[in-house]
């Protein structure tokens, strides 16, 4: 039998009861479990004197779990570690997860060791891993079974994953709406769309003390100017956004989704008839996706346009060749950047 030595240790040998160097070894094993033949690595103690493999109580337990995990893998079921990882994701205890799912109190503990879960339960565990929204709805239903503190802890963990998920969906949707422009250099300014840069550019503007009252219309203009100036100076835009010529000037495709992205410091302000979107960031922050050259360009835009009111910046934009030459609702091409007013 092929064995791999994992450890050597001088101690009383549990096999021959003499003191000598005892090896811990790993060996390939084959066993049949539930009519399926499975291969797995088992760990033994090896006695050179008796030339015998021996398992202590702990090794018997662990080898049984290795066999069960090999079976689980072969059947496409979650392994014991993967089940424990699902709990770790939400920071939930074995018995609390049982409570949440309406299962017997020891079920998860058993699944994380010797008992192979049935397929229906396996599917539920996979779903709860992928679907924090479902976790949240189960948690609300089971609220009375938990202390307030425990409930809050699980609520926070699952909410964070839920928001992360939502952001990923939103990012996918924005990228999908950009698919038709891909490869058209004059539309996206020779840069691939980077939503990380989009978020950082918005954060940079929102945190600038040299920009007065930053609402959505003004923000969209500043973003276009930043990309256009970047293209004028370097031959490529910062964000890769595609802008349309709307009555108030340039507006990026997907603007409503963009301001919903995670970490965009956007606050909805009730203005009576309508809502306004205010962008403001008080705390010091970093802009990891932006280069120092990017930041210089943003600073140049802030210098020229930061103090303009919304009406001033809209009428300034209306004088751009890029705007005048573009038919209403058409894509504003970056070829006009060379005649930019700034």
Least distance in angstroms from the C-beta of 52 to Zn ion: 8
DSSP alpha helix (H) spans, 53-111 = 57-74, 80-90, 94-101, 107-111
Told to check if 49 binds Zn ion by CB under 5 A, we report: yes
In the chain, % helix, strand, coil (3-state, to 5) comes to 50, 20, 30
The single residue listed with the structure tokens 């549990």 is: 14
- Which C-beta is closer to Zn ion: that of 6 or that of 276? 6
The single residue listed with the structure tokens 């280069």 is: 291
One symbol per residue from 7 to 26: x for binding Zn ion (CB under 5 A), - otherwise; what is it?
Answer: ------x-xx----------
Told to check if 116 binds Zn ion by CB under 5 A, we report: no
The interface region with Zn ion, picked from 43-51, 131-139, 185-193, 294-302 by CB under 5 A, is 43-51
The interface region with Zn ion, picked from 44-52, 158-166, 186-194, 232-240 by CB under 5 A, is 44-52
Tokens in use for 108? Answer: 């998860």
- Total residues contacting Zn ion by CB under 5 A comes to 5
- Which C-beta is closer to Zn ion: that of 13 or that of 308? 13
User: CA-to-CA distance for 7 and 10, rounded, in angstroms?
Assistant: 10
- Which C-beta is closer to Zn ion: that of 22 or that of 317? 22
Cβ-based burial of 2 (10 A; exposed 0-12, middle 13-18, buried ≥19): exposed
Least distance in angstroms from the C-beta of 54 to Zn ion: 8
Instruction: Determine the angle formed by the axes of helices 94-101 and 80-90, rounding to 10 degrees.
Output: 80
Told to check if 53 binds Zn ion by CB under 5 A, we report: no
Supply φ then ψ for residue 150, to 5 degrees.
Answer: -65, -45
One symbol per residue from 200 to 229: x for binding Zn ion (CB under 5 A), - otherwise; what is it?
Answer: ------------------------------
- Which C-beta is closer to Zn ion: that of 11 or that of 130? 11
Least distance in angstroms from the C-beta of 51 to Zn ion: 9
User: CA-to-CA distance for 239 and 189, rounded, in angstroms?
Assistant: 9
- Which C-beta is closer to Zn ion: that of 49 or that of 60? 49
When binding is defined by CB under 5 A, the residue of 38, 42, 47, 297 that contacts Zn ion is: 47
User: CA-to-CA distance for 204 and 223, rounded, in angstroms?
Assistant: 11
- Which C-beta is closer to Zn ion: that of 8 or that of 262? 8
Angle, vertex CA 281, rays to CA 277 and CA 285, nearest 5: 145
Least distance in angstroms from the C-beta of 15 to Zn ion: 4
Residues at the site binding Zn ion, with contacts judged by CB under 5 A: 13, 15-16, 47, 49
């Amino acid at each position: 039998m092929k064995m791999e030595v994992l450890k050597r240790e001088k101690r009383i040998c549990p096999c021959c009861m003499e003191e000598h160097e005892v090896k811990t070894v790993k060996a390939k094993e084959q066993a049949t479990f539930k009519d399926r033949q499975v291969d797995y690595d088992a760990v033994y103690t090896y006695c050179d004197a008796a030339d015998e493999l021996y398992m202590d109580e702990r090794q018997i337990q662990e080898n049984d779990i290795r066999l069960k995990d090999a079976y689980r893998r072969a059947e496409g079921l979650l392994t014991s570690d993967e089940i424990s990882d699902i709990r770790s994701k939400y920071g939930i205890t074995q018995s609390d997860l049982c409570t949440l799912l309406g299962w017997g109190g020891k079920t998860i503990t058993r699944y994380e060791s010797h008992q192979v879960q049935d397929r229906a339960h396996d599917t539920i565990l996979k779903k709860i891993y992928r679907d924090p929204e479902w976790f949240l709805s189960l948690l609300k239903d089971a609220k009375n079974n938990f202390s307030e503190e425990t409930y809050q802890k699980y609520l926070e963990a699952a909410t964070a994953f839920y928001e992360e998920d939502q952001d990923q969906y939103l990012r996918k949707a924005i990228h999908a709406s950009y698919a038709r422009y891909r490869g058209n250099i004059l539309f996206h300014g020779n840069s691939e769309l980077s939503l990380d840069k989009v978020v950082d550019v918005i954060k940079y503007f929102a945190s600038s003390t040299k920009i007065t009252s930053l609402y959505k219309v003004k923000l969209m203009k500043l973003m276009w100017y930043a990309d256009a100036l970047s293209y004028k100076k370097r031959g490529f835009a910062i964000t890769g956004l595609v802008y349309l010529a709307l009555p108030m000037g340039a507006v990026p495709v997907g603007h409503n989704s963009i301001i919903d992205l995670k970490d965009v410091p956007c606050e909805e302000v009730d203005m009576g008839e309508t809502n306004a979107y205010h962008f403001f960031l008080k705390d010091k922050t970093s802009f990891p996706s932006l280069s120092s050259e990017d930041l210089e360009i943003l600073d140049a835009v802030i210098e020229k346009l930061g103090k303009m009111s919304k009406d001033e910046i809209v009428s300034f934009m209306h004088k751009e060749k890029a705007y005048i030459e573009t038919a209403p609702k058409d894509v504003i091409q970056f070829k006009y950047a060379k005649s930019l007013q700034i």
